[in-house]
Amino acid sequence: MSHERQHYVNGAWVEPLQPTLLDVVDPSTEEAFTQIAVGGAADVDRAVEAARAAFPAFAATTRRQRLDLLRAILAEYNKRRDDIADVLSREMGAPRKFAYERQSATGTGHLARMIEVLEDYRFEEVQGTTLIAREPIGVVGLITPWNWPINQIVCKVAPAIAAGCTMVLKPSEVAPLNAVIWSEVMHAAGVPAGVYNMVQGEGGTVGNAMSAHPGIDMMSFTGSTRAGILVAQAAATTVKRVAQELGGKSANILLPDVDFPTAVTKGVLGMMGNSGQSCNAPTRMFVPLDRHEEVKAIAKAAAERVVVGPVDDERTTIGPVVSAVQFEKIQRLIQAGIEEGAELVTGGPGRPEHLNRGYFVRPTVFANVRNDMTIAREEIFGPVLSILPYRDEAEAIRLANETVYGLAAYVQSADLDHARRVAAQMRAGNVHLNYPAPDTAAPFGGYKQSGNGREYGKWALDEFCEIKAVIGYGAAA
């Protein structure tokens, strides 16, 4: 990889029009190890011009041509999975094994799924005498985050390609190197010039320029709710479509009949994976009041099994959080939990005792948490679990839904029908029953301030299509 200080525009690596550099920091050492180019409005203009010029020809390609292109991208991606895992460990602090088996694996999964979807997707259907056609929406702007970076790049780019859209990507400036490799993959796969473009940079400049750009027909954004609001506001001036996957504060309801040692342990370990940096992490665990003491002991034991350490050590469960900004935010929220009267079960402020540098956070569990406490309301984005006791099922459901977020919810019960009835009352875009395996065909997205629109599988392809009705198409002459 030798393109960190360039953008990818119109099928070539190009020098930035506004030559500014930004450090990329290794969160394990707190030291910069490379720099990337930081783009500006002029770089966005150049990329949009290339995407608009490429759109008519690419929109006219056949299903078979786009399938062949996706298969070529998948083949090139799989050649670079080791490289992607290496940079993810370095730039975002994912343990090396996790970076390969979970983080980089998502790219393979989304590409394979989109190929499967595109093979049978109905771009046209006749209803009565009217043709309903799904056509590529145009040039799309893609802004992706640092926590699952390659996952979010691929789950946007793959359906955009499948739909026949052209695009401009702005990856996270915090974890940008995986996007450089991804751009090398796209080039090696023979993606036509201008179909895919990447401009590195910061949200306040590149992201804002993309969102407001009259040459971009749709914005697809993943990140914080705060930043999502800014994207939507900037996009409103051109009335473009905005699809957003934002923050979360997901509830995990353990019903009284569940196997508590198993359900609590899986809940703790699941939410602390990726150092707690997942928007759909089950961060609020609701448990029956009369099982609260038992749950505390199980959660403490589970959290203390989590090994925080170097990313290249196979014994490590979680590495550092991504940046000083995130570390300081998490420390502030842990302190808020203590000051507001939550019971600290394990963990707490500061680094683990065996680590003296790096943005490492102690796996932390709070009990006796009330839903009005800061740690129960704000998205912490770190390995911090809140346990909230409930008196009855109705209260659990009410408290679980009492949040501005609605990305995901989790329900655990030995009675699947009971879990389904509770799931029907959850105001969330995804509800997970009894810790199921991930499903890349299921629509991913949220209610309320967790966003709008859906990603993954067929649902993602729908998002990148505009709908046209040709009335009278089937009428007699």
DSSP state of 460: H
The CATH number of the structural domain formed by 7-246+449-470 is 3.40.605.10
Bridge partners, residue 444, by sequence: 455
Is residue 423 helix, strand or coil?
A: helix
Catalytic hit among 155, 165, 279, 465: 279
Catalytic hit among 184, 245, 379, 463: 245
Q: Tell me the residue type at 288.
A: P
Q: What is the pLDDT of residue 405?
A: 98
Q: What is the pLDDT of residue 434?
A: 98
Q: What is the pLDDT of residue 176?
A: 98
- E strands, 391-454, are 408-412, 430-433, 451-452
Q: What is the pLDDT of residue 19?
A: 80
Is residue 156 helix, strand or coil?
A: helix
Fold of domain 251-440: Aldehyde Dehydrogenase; Chain A, domain 2 (3.40.309)
Distance of alpha carbon 5 from alpha carbon 22, whole angstroms: 9
pLDDT in tens, 197-232: 999 999 999 999 999 999 999 999 999 999 999 999
DSSP state of 187: H
Rounded to two decimals, the pTM is 0.97
Given a contact cutoff of 8 angstroms between Cβ atoms, the answer to whether 247 and 145 are in contact is no
Domain definitions of the chain by residue range: 7-246+449-470, 251-440
- E strands, 123-261, are 124-127, 130-136, 139-143, 166-170, 196-198, 218-222, 241-245, 251-254
Distance of alpha carbon 382 from alpha carbon 363, whole angstroms: 8
**Closest among 415, 339, 11 to 192, alpha carbons compared:** 11
User: Does the annotation count 245 as an active-site position?
Assistant: yes
User: How is residue 81 written in tokens?
Assistant: 């999975």
Q: Measured in whole angstroms, how far is the alpha carbon of residue 195 from the centre of its chain?
A: 23
User: Does the annotation count 279 as an active-site position?
Assistant: yes
Distance of alpha carbon 4 from alpha carbon 61, whole angstroms: 31
pLDDT in tens, 149-202: 999 999 999 999 999 999 999 999 999 999 999 999 999 999 999 999 999 999
Taking residues 36-65, report their average pLDDT: 98
